[in-house]
Amino acid sequence: MTHKIAILGASGYTGAELVRLIATHPTMEIAALAANSKAGQPMAAVFPHLRHLKLPDLVKIEEIDFDGIDLCFCALPHATSQAVIKALPKTLKIVDLSADFRLRDPEVYAKWYGGQHDALECQAEAVYGLTEFYREEIRGARLVAGTGCNAATGQYALRPLIADGVIDLDDIIIDLKTGVSGAGRSLKENLLHAELSEGAHAYAVGGTHRHLAEFDQEFSAIAGRPVKVQFTPHLLPANRGILGTVYVKGDPEAVHASLACAYANEPFVEMLPFGQHPSTRHIRGSNFCHVGVTGDRIPGRAIVIAALDNLTKGSSGQALQNANLMLGEEETTGLMLAPVFP
């Protein structure tokens, strides 16, 4: 049986990444592609790398007949997403890639995203989409909220450690390096090639990045008490990939054991041997996350490093992994593409 898929927001990078992945998915078929600003155009005009595919032309969202759709990916900007999803049929399965349904507490949403949430009833039923930790809820969910790509990276490094109580909860630092595609296809001076290549800088320094809201929500829930991490993202001159270097206080062997145990049977999270560390170039274009641990020369301190591709495991690959579950497919279907190196 083939599942009919719609993608809303198909003119952005995460939309295009969904199409790339679904292109070789054996039981999904793209039935509709929406991008209001480019409606009427063929997808190949917007993303020439997809020109070999037979794809429906881009349409406006309101032109889609959702009766024929089994699952809808929503790759729209936050705020836009909630308005659109609110208006979709209440029985339609949806994987949302925006920030709109990640935060359970509407006041937290309002604080970090600067406005009241307008689809509270949808938010109430949304399941947080970090597959490895919400697998069963996702299987039964109608609406799944994809995680932030940075938020996913930090959580792969830290969730088992918090759950197992092997680290000091009050002294966690996430120093993260991210590729530029995470910022999307938006026209900003600081995303120009001439501004970004051959250099690096930090942004949202001091605890102002919105993905902190996800860290706070998830880590506090696991710990059963408030947990606040330090988080400093940096922009790399690379298109894809996030490297999260996480500094924790705890026994390094216990830290490694906790993570190794958590991911022993996970198809997409690869635990490296103690003392080895991942590189973003070894997960590029794939749904894999690599995690490594080393002890510092200062006893009782460990460095955990996690790497994933922001567009795949951090966004569209995760979304497809969740969609597989929601549609009763094998979780890994269409997602075992090996990383592209070099």
By CB under 8 A, what part of segment 42-81 binds its own copies? 47-53
**Count of residues interacting with its own copies (CB under 8 A):** 89
Question: What is the C-alpha to C-alpha distance for residues 28 and 5, in angstroms, rounded to an integer?
Answer: 7
Nearer to its own copies, 163 or 337 (CB): 337
Distance, in Å, from the CA atom of 172 to the CA atom of 267, rounded to the nearest integer, reads 27
Identify residues 8-37 at the interface with its own copies (CB under 8 A). 13, 16, 19-20, 23-24
User: Per the structure block, which two tokens stand in for 104?
Assistant: 């359970």
Phi/psi at 241 (5° precision):
115, 135
Minimum CB distance to its own copies smaller for 199 or for 224: 199
Positions 173 through 192 that interact with its own copies (CB under 8 A): 173, 175, 177, 179-181, 185, 187-189, 191-192
Task: Output the smallest distance, CB 47 to its own copies, in A.
Answer: 7
Least distance in angstroms from the C-beta of 125 to its own copies: 31
Burial of 97 (0-12, 13-18, 19+ CB in 10 A): buried
Closer CB to its own copies, 142 or 282, in the complex: 282
Active site residue 149: yes
- Near its own copies in 122-181, by CB under 8 A: 171, 173, 175, 177, 179-181
Query: Cis peptide leading into 342, omega within 30 of 0?
Result: yes
Tokens of 214: 């996800």
Using CA atoms, how far residue 84 sits from 62, 98, 224, 333, in Å, is 10, 12, 34, 28
Q: Within a 13 Å sphere around the CA of 82, how many CA atoms are in the beta-carbon half? A: 22
State which of positions 230-289 bind its own copies (CB under 8 A).
230, 232, 234, 236-241, 243, 245, 247, 267-268, 270, 272, 275, 277-286, 288
- From the number of C-beta atoms within 10 Å of its C-beta (0-12, 13-18, 19+), residue 128 rates as buried
Q: Does 92 bind its own copies (CB under 8 A)?
A: no
Which residue, chain included where needed, has tokens 């088992």?
160
Q: Which residue is catalytic, options 72, 74, 122, 149?
A: 149
Which 189-218 residues touch its own copies, going by CB under 8 A? Answer: 189, 191-203, 205-208, 212
User: Catalytic site residues?
Assistant: 149
